[in-house]
């Protein structure tokens, strides 16, 4: 039986958090990636809307500067070692290039909150809720969504703006996130929440 839950939607000042929309994950040229033009397109739509409303936008990337960072994670998934500061793989997909004032937060683990300054930045921007997008649904997106709730942000996940290498994992994790941690809804439904948001 499914849990009873309340839909929280978005507050007055949501931020768009694009999780690991980097070349290493959006291109099949990288062993870690998969071509996902529809996910990129959905992120572009949201990015344009958030910018038009002057709402906060923040990106994350996965990058490793030295061998001591996340050794267990990297031993489990050896191709993570490709994500070095000088590689193209850690750059945000050029179709979603950040603008000045839109930070790209480097991380070493799955969650965008774990050992980063993300929460501090969100608080500085007066953010009261999150729209979380990106790659992958069953990995870094889910970990970020769970931590978003644990940092007391209502979270919305637009289905079309997240993706996974495994369709079954994608579907199962969307179900689980919606049941416990976030409002999972369509891109259109997410966009409909935004015009009523007041910018600071």
The residues assigned a catalytic role are 140
Look at the block and give the residue holding tokens 């033009």.
37
Contact 39, 132 (CB under 8 A): no
Contact 74, 80 (CB under 8 A): yes
- Residue 20: CB atoms within 10 A of its CB come to 27
CB-based burial, 145-184: b 16+ in 10 Å, e otherwise: bbbbbeeebbbbbbbbbbbbbeeeebeebbebbbeebbbb
């Amino acid at each position: 039986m499914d849990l009873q839950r309340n839909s929280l939607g978005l507050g007055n000042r949501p931020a768009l958090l694009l999780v690991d929309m980097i070349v290493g994950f959006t291109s099949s040229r990288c062993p870690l990636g998969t071509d996902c033009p529809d996910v990129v397109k959905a992120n572009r739509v949201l990015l344009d809307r958030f910018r038009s409303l002057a709402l906060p936008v923040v990106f994350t990337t996965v990058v490793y500067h030295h061998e001591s960072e996340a050794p267990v994670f990297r031993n489990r998934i050896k191709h993570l070692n490709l994500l070095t500061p000088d590689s193209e793989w850690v750059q945000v997909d050029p179709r979603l290039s950040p603008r000045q004032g839109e930070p790209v937060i480097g991380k070493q683990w799955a969650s965008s909150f774990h050992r980063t300054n993300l929460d501090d930045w969100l608080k500085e921007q007066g953010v009261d809720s999150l729209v979380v997008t990106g790659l992958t649904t069953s990995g870094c997106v889910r970990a970020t969504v769970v931590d978003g709730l644990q940092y007391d942000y209502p979270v919305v996940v637009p289905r079309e703006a997240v993706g996974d290498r495994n369709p079954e994992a994608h579907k199962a994790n969307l179900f689980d996130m919606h049941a416990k941690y976030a409002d999972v809804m369509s891109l259109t439904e997410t966009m409909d929440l935004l015009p009523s948001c007041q910018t600071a």
